[in-house]
Structure 1
Amino acid sequence: MNDLELENKKKKGTKQRGHPRDTPEVRISKSLSWLLRHGAEKAGLRVRLDGYAKVSDVLSNPMFRNVTFVDLERVVKRDQKSRFHLLLEPQTSGSSGSDDVKLELQPIHSASDIPMAVHGTSRKAWELIAKQGLSRMNRNHIHLAQGIPGNNVLSGMRNSSQILIFIDVQKALDAGIKFYLSMNGVVLTEGNADGFLSTEFFLGVENADHTPVQGWAGSQPIDPISTSAAAPVLSERAVLTETTVYQEAET
Structure 2
Amino acid sequence: MSQPRKGGRGGGRGGGGQSREVQISKALSLLLRHAAEKEGLKMNTQGYANVADVLAWRKLKSLKVTFPEILDAVATSDKKRFALLHIPSAEQADSKGQATTTPSKVTDREDEGANDTEQSTTVLSAPPVTQAAQENATQRALSVATSKEDTDPSHFLIRATQGHSIKSVDPASFLERLTLSDEPQAQPSVPATTPSTSLPDTVVHGTYHAAWPLILASGGLKCMGRTHVHFATGPSLESVLAQNKGRGDTEGDGKGIEGLDNGTVISGMRRDAQVLIYINIKKALAAGCPFWRSENGVILSEGMAITGKEGAEEKEKVVPLEFFDVVVERKAGLGVLWEHGKVVQELPQDLAGRRNPKGRRVPPDGEKGRGRSK
| Normalised-by-shorter TM-score class | 0.5 to 0.7
**CA 1:215 to 1:197, structure 2 compared with 1: closer, same or farther past 3 Å?**
closer
The answer to whether the 8 Å contact 1:49/1:140 transfers is no
> Which of 155, 167, 173 lines up with 2:266 in the alignment?
155
**CA 1:57 to 1:219, structure 2 compared with 1: closer, same or farther past 3 Å?**
farther
Aligned alpha-carbon RMSD (Å): 3.9
| Whole-angstrom distance in 2 between the partners of 1:158 and 1:107 | 23
The answer to whether the 8 Å contact 2:204/2:233 transfers is yes
| Whole-angstrom distance in 2 between the partners of 1:122 and 1:92 | 44
User: Which whole-Å deviations, capped at 9, do the CAs of 1:111-132 have from their partners, x for residues lacking one?
Assistant: 8411211112222233321222
| Whole-angstrom distance in 1 between the partners of 2:14 and 2:215 | 29
| Whole-angstrom distance in 2 between the partners of 1:30 and 1:76 | 12
The answer to whether the 8 Å contact 2:232/2:298 transfers is yes
Q: Which residue in the other structure is 2:201 paired with?
A: 115
| Whole-angstrom distance in 1 between the partners of 2:328 and 2:37 | 33
Q: Which residue in the other structure is 1:186 paired with?
A: 298
Deviation (angstroms), 1:196: 0.5
> Which of 285, 288, 293 lines up with 1:176 in the alignment?
288
**CA 1:18 to 1:124, structure 2 compared with 1: closer, same or farther past 3 Å?**
farther
| Whole-angstrom distance in 1 between the partners of 2:70 and 2:373 | 15
Between stretches 168-177 and 53-62, larger displacement belongs to: 53-62
Structure 2: tracts of 5 or more residues without a match: 1-12, 88-102, 109-122, 125-167, 184-198, 236-258, 306-315, 346-371
The one-letter code matched in structure 2 to 1:116 is T
Structural mapping, 1:39-188, within 5 Å: 40=34, 44=38, 52=47, 54=49, 55=51, 58-65=54-61, 66-79=64-77, 81-88=78-85, 90=87, 91-94=103-106, 99=168, 103-110=173-180, 112=183, 113-132=199-218, 133-148=220-235, 149-150=259-260, 154-156=265-267, 157-188=269-300
The one-letter code matched in structure 2 to 1:74 is D
| Whole-angstrom distance in 2 between the partners of 1:174 and 1:63 | 45
The answer to whether the 8 Å contact 1:119/1:166 transfers is yes
**CA 1:89 to 1:140, structure 2 compared with 1: closer, same or farther past 3 Å?**
farther
User: Which whole-Å deviations, capped at 9, do the CAs of 1:207-249 have from their partners, x for residues lacking one?
Assistant: 23474354783569xxxxxxxxxxxxxxx979xxxxxxxxxxx
Between stretches 148-157 and 121-130, larger displacement belongs to: 148-157
The yes-or-no answer on 1:198 pairing with 2:339 is no
| Whole-angstrom distance in 1 between the partners of 2:32 and 2:336 | 29
Deviation (angstroms), 1:162: 2.1
Look at both structures and tell me which one has the larger radius of gyration over its CA atoms: 2
The answer to whether the 8 Å contact 1:167/1:203 transfers is yes
The answer to whether the 8 Å contact 2:279/2:323 transfers is yes
The answer to whether the 8 Å contact 2:209/2:275 transfers is yes
Tell me the SS of whatever aligns to 2:105.
coil
**CA 1:27 to 1:95, structure 2 compared with 1: closer, same or farther past 3 Å?**
closer
Between stretches 193-202 and 138-147, larger displacement belongs to: 138-147
**CA 1:182 to 1:83, structure 2 compared with 1: closer, same or farther past 3 Å?**
closer
TM-score normalised by structure 2 residue count: 0.44
The one-letter code matched in structure 2 to 1:137 is M
The one-letter code matched in structure 1 to 2:69 is D
The one-letter code matched in structure 2 to 1:165 is I
The answer to whether the 8 Å contact 1:190/1:196 transfers is yes
Q: Which residue in the other structure is 2:355 paired with?
A: none
The answer to whether the 8 Å contact 1:204/1:219 transfers is no
**Structure showing greater relative contact order (alpha-carbon pairs closer than 8 Å, 6 or more residues apart):** 1
Tell me the SS of whatever aligns to 1:87.
strand
Report % sequence identity: 32
| Whole-angstrom distance in 2 between the partners of 1:49 and 1:120 | 28
Aligned pair count? 203
**CA 1:24 to 1:179, structure 2 compared with 1: closer, same or farther past 3 Å?**
closer
Q: Which residue in the other structure is 2:25 paired with?
A: 29
**CA 1:27 to 1:181, structure 2 compared with 1: closer, same or farther past 3 Å?**
closer
**CA 1:143 to 1:57, structure 2 compared with 1: closer, same or farther past 3 Å?**
farther
| Whole-angstrom distance in 2 between the partners of 1:48 and 1:141 | 19
